[in-house]
Structure 1
Amino acid sequence: MQNPTMCDQCGVTLRYASMLLYHKRSHLAVKPFACPHCPKTFVMPYLLKWHMRSHTGEKPHQCPECPLAFALKANFNRHYDTAHRGIRGFFPCPVCGRISTTKGSMQLHLRAVHGDAGWPKRDRSKRKTKLLEDKE
């Protein structure tokens, strides 16, 4: 970190002193950058800029190897690494061992399959019985 600065309210360390102003707005619930198309507001101007892409459909990050384009650079980087470079993340499920390529997909798997939140689990026990009844 270059010139780290610490918030006196929560202790978070920020890379630049200029970021401290934006961070302190989160404690005050001040979000001065408002979307003109919907009620969302943002602490930082670049967050509003990224959000505006959801309204305009702008996708400035074009993949050089396929026709896909992305609104956010991070999404393009993940696509390029997994689809074209063969680099995959390795996030094993701590419960069943299933491998996910992103941390987010692993968390979704944990909630949906092993937790109470997420999609309702299907009762697969009746499936075989129903299939056998249909054949008779």
Structure 2
Amino acid sequence: MTFLLSMLVVALGGAGGAASRWGLIVLMERRAAARERSGHGHLPTGLEMMPWATFLANLLACLLLGILVMRLGSVGGTLELLYLLLGVGYCGALSTVATAALDVVNLVRRGAPVLGLGYVLFTIGTGMAALWLGLVIGS
């Protein structure tokens, strides 16, 4: 397999993962705005500040990556391309440390540093748990 083909496959997967993350964020923001307008489903104070869409994207990426690692392992040929497409490209772009870090900065700027720290710990802990669950599901 050529390096150029591998790069192209990762880029295609990354485009899908980034678009999925963006779509999830937009969808969840619209749903939250609709709930707020209707007066239904208001979250307890502090929880409405949490960047739930980024959290969910990271959680889903970790779960999917765990399943892929167990199903595909270290393979070559076509299966390697599938791993590059879904594992490296899609999951890599769906999950994002950079967006999570920016979410923490925004929480701190909004006067919620403890919530920011909690978000970091919660994201890392549940991400690792989701990866483990994916490994179990995939085996």
TM-score (norm 1): 0.22
Which entry has the higher C-alpha Rg, 1 or 2?
1
RCO higher in 1 or 2 (8 Å CA, sep ≥ 6)? 2
Of Structure 1 and Structure 2, the greater strand share is in 1
Structure with the bigger percentage of helix: 2
**Structure 2 length normalisation: TM-score?**
0.22
